[in-house]
Each structure stands twice: as structure tokens, then as C-alpha cells.
A and B are shown apart, each in its own frame.
Chain A
Amino acid sequence: MNGSLLRELVPAVLGVLVRRGADFATAEDAVQDALVEAVRRWPVEEPRDPKGWLVTVAWRKFLDAARADGSRRRREERVEVEPAPGPAGEVDDTLQLYFLCAHPSLSPASAVALTLRAVGGLTTRQIARAYLVPEATMAQRISRAKRTVSDVRFSRPGDVATVVRVLYLVFNEGYSGDVDLAAEAIRLTRQLAAVTRHEEVSGLLALMLLHHARRPARTRADGSLVPLAEQDRSRWDTRLIAEGVEVLQAALARDRLGEFQAQAAIAALHADARTVAETDWVQIVEWYDELLRFTDSPVARLNRAVALGEADGPRAGLAALAELDPALPRYAAAAAYLHERDGELATAARLYAEAAASASNLAERDHLTRQAARLNTRLRT
């Protein structure tokens, strides 16, 4: 059994412990300890019932921990005399865990860390490496998060929208380490989609699949960025695209549109174009208009202006851009792109250099510097 299959059992196992009366924080530690033991022992002898094995071991670890902690004695006695409740809905447990880990009282960074550990089953060290912080810092963030949600009743229903946002953050922001956070976010979103029929969960899953499909084409061997228009589309993962489109269509058919479905629809239209020239920019602009009904995100407005520039010409794009705040992230980059399309190379070069200076990451800065260099070189010859 590989690591991610093992980790798929985590929510169900943790759910069993919590339903037996274990407190969430201690139960979560116990499940982590059981995972460590599984990784050590299963290669020698894999149990016939992996989940049953994990529940047994985790429960034992929980009792050990509760016993070791004198102040918990009374609670421990209670859980040992109380009969375990009947077979609880595994589906409900999983969903409740997602709600708990994305609880609105948690900061986004804490919710992300707690979700990766308690639902994803990743170790604190893996999560710390993924976000480039010391392990002790991440351990502290996770234990504070656990304390914050310690009074939340496990069975209280939460809001899927908060969970979706946390999973989107996992997909979109993270560094490296030995965990592929994008793949982990997809796994967690799939797992969530399996236990809830919420259109936006499907929308998010579709969005992730469609963007993940482009990953092989998105960076060169040296790590530099390849913009969408220049990507080698034969390197897009057609299997992921097909799945993303299918998930999206099923969600759209339920006629309850939302932000993530609209974003996924835009990604699907890009995926649908075999060459950049075949891109249906008119439809993409329409989907941006839909998207803006659900969010007034300035990023969406900026992207709409660029799409409009493709659909109706760069002047139209620049006019739409002129209505936005020039201090927006990527404003200068979008303006540079549209000015270049309009033949204003000197202006575009200046704006690319300006965009490079205000980029939020090195890959983008290097890409924008290169764009400015390209135009300046052309202007000299």
C-alpha cells in the first residue's frame, strides 16, 4: 500500500475515534502516530483490514496519551466505559472533518496546515517543508489551530464554501518539498466531491484538473515560465482535461453556477483550443462576465480586460483596463501585453520592466524582465 492510499484512510479513522468520544486534538495525534507505525510495519506484514488495523492502533495510542495525561483521566474513564456508538456514517465523518479543519475561526494558513495534517494525513515535517518554514513553527501553527477548534462540536454542519477556499489555497500556493501540493489538493477535493453533491466542489475539482493538465507545458526545463499562448499544447494531459470537462459539465447541468464553475469553464475553453489562434475569446469574455456576478475580484476584472483585448482588439482591452486601479497586481504586465499587441513597443517595454519590478515572485519577475529585454532588443535593431 503506498503512502497516499494509506492517507486516504485518515478521515475515516479519525472520525471513528472522535465519535467514540476522543477529543479531536488528541485523536488527531493518535492517528498520526498510527500512520508512522503503519509505515514501519506494513512493508513487513500488511494487515488484511488496513482501516481496522489503523483504528485499533490509533485507539490504543489515544488511550495511552489520555492515560499519560492526568487531567484527562476522567474523560478517559468515560470513554472507556461508554459503549462505542453504532457504525457511524463514514461519509459524514469525512465531511465533518473538512468543515472542522476549514472552520471560519481559523486563519487561512492555519486552516491549510490543519487540513493537510488531519484530513490529508501529511506529517508536520512535510507540511513545513512545503511552506518553507521550520518544523517547530508549523507544529506550533497546527497545535494552535487545534486549540482554536477544540470547542467546535464535531457534528455541527459547516459551510462548503470555506472548505473549497482552503483547498484552492493548497492547490494554488505552496513551494516544493517532497509533497506535490497540487496533486494533494486534487486528491482532497476528489475525496470531498465523493461525499458531497455541491456544484462548487465539482467546479473546483474541474478547475484543478484543467490547470494541472497544463503543468507539463507551463515551465521549461530550467524552471522558467511559459505563457499560455506559447505552451506546447501537445504536452497537455488530455486524460485530465477530459475528466475536468466531464466533471464541469455534470456540475453545470445542475444549473447552480458559482465562482469556481465559471473559472473552470474559462479553463475548459482554453483546453478546448488546439492552437492559441483557435481560442474562443468571445465565449471566454462571456464567462468572465458570469464570473464577475459571483466575485468582484480585481484579478478577474484584469483577466477579463486581457480576454477582451483578444476578442475585440487591444484597444478594447486597454479601454477596459483604464477603468481599473493601476496599483492592481499584474496591471502593468497586462497593459504591457496589450500595448505590444497594439504595436506600441516602446511603451510595452517600459511597462514590462515596471511589471518586473513589482512582480510577486521570481519566476514572474524573470519572465517579465525577459519580455522587456526582447522588446528593447527589437527596438534597437
Chain B
Amino acid sequence: MAKYLLLKHYRGGPAPTVEYPPMEEWTPAEVDAHLQFMRDFMARLEESGEFVDEQALAPGGAFVRYDGAGRPPVTDGPFAETKDLIAGWCVVDVESWDRAVELAGELSAAPGPGGRPLHEWLEVRPFWGVAPTVTE
């Protein structure tokens, strides 16, 4: 088994394949259907024994760095509309890269306006594994 991070962005990633309005411009039924899809997806992962973690991030925040002794850290943010922002992630523990990609594909099919899949890009990243005990 190997762990993969399925990373969801607010913005960023390759060029979008489907353009859609922000969620507050959908109908309430479309919003509900989308949220239900996400809950069902996570529930299926738990059932299949592949779920590790799921967290969502609020859009606020900033970049921060050290600015020398005795000085407060420098911040850059909150971010302009154009910057890539991470919206949240899901960590899965699966048999293979192919399975991780399959799951990301399912998640990307979350419904949007008119119930049509959003085709949203998800970033899939492998975690470093553990060093094996037996090496020869």
C-alpha cells in the first residue's frame, strides 16, 4: 500500500476544461448535490479501507518568512484572485498509483451546474514511503 495526496486547488493547475460559475450562482439543489457527492465519495473510501485523512482549508491566509533577528516575520497575503490557492486535500492509502489516479478521476467528476461533472483538475502526489527492513 502507498499513500497519495489528492490536492484540490481553488485556482491554479492546468487550463480548465470546463468553465463554470462560482457555487453561489448555482441553484441550491445543485449545491446540495455537489456536497452530497463529496460526502459519498469520502464514505466510499472509508468503506473500502483506503481513507486516511481529509481536510478543507479556508481561503484566507498568507505567505510568511523570517526577516532577521528582532524583526517580525514578513507576510505576503491575503492572496489576490489570481494566485494559486490550495482548497483542501484528501489522503488515500491505496495499492497503486493507478488506483490513486482512478480515485482522483472519480472525485473530479463531482457534479456542478446542471448536474454535469466539473472536470476539475486534481493534483495527485505520492508520499515518500518508509525504508524497508529487508534490503538485500
Contact = CB atoms under 8 A, between A and B. Distances in A.
Interface of A: 222-224, 349, 352-353, 356-360, 362, 365-366, 369-370, 372-374, 376-377
B24 A358 contact: no
B103 interface: no
B58 A353 contact: no
Q: Which of B22, B24, B25, B35 has the most CB of A within 10 A?
A: B24
A359 B58 contact: yes
Contacts of B22: 353
Interface residues of B, number: 17
Contacts of B61: none
A374 B25 CA distance: 8
Interface stretch (B26-34, B67-75, B94-102, B123-131): B26-34
A374 B35 CA distance: 15
Interface in B15-63: 22-28, 30-32, 35-36, 39, 56, 58-60
B58 A370 contact: no
Nearest to A374: B28
A369 B59 contact: no
Given A373-B28, A373-B30, 16 more contacts: A222-B35, A223-B39, A224-B32, A224-B35, A349-B24, A353-B24, A356-B24, A362-B56, A369-B24, A369-B31, A370-B28, A370-B32, A372-B24, A373-B24, A373-B27, A376-B24
Contact of B36 (A222, A358, A370, A377): A222
Contact of A370 (B31, B59, B60): B31
Contacts of A359: 58
A33 to B, nearest CB: 32
Nearest to B39: A222
A224 B58 CA distance: 18
Interface string B62-106: 000000000000000000000000000000000000000000000
A369 B27 CA distance: 10
Ranked nearest first, the 10 interchain pairs of A and B with the lowest CB-CB distance are A372-B24, A353-B24, A377-B27, A373-B28, A374-B28, A373-B31, A376-B25, A370-B31, A370-B28, A369-B23
Nearest to B60: A358
B54 to A, nearest CB: 11
Contacts of B39: 222-223
Contacts of B58: 358-360, 365
A358 B59 CA distance: 8
B60 A377 contact: no
Contact of A373 (B26, B36, B56, B59): B26
A373 B35 contact: no
Contacts of B30: 373
B121 to A, nearest CB: 21
B47 to A, nearest CB: 17
Contacts of A353: 22, 24
Contacts of A376: 24-25
Nearest to B32: A370
A352 B25 CA distance: 11
Contacts of A356: 24
Contacts of A223: 39
Nearest to B23: A369
A40 B35 CA distance: 42
A3 to B, nearest CB: 26
Contacts of A360: 58
A352 B31 CA distance: 14
A44 B22 CA distance: 60
A359 B28 CA distance: 18
B100 to A, nearest CB: 24
Contacts of A352: 24
Nearest to B22: A353
A374 B24 CA distance: 8
Nearest to A220: B32
A224 B60 CA distance: 23
A211 B30 CA distance: 31
Contacts of B59: 357
A358 B60 CA distance: 8
Contacts of A349: 24
Nearest to A361: B58
Given A222-B35, A224-B35, A369-B23, A377 B56 contact: no
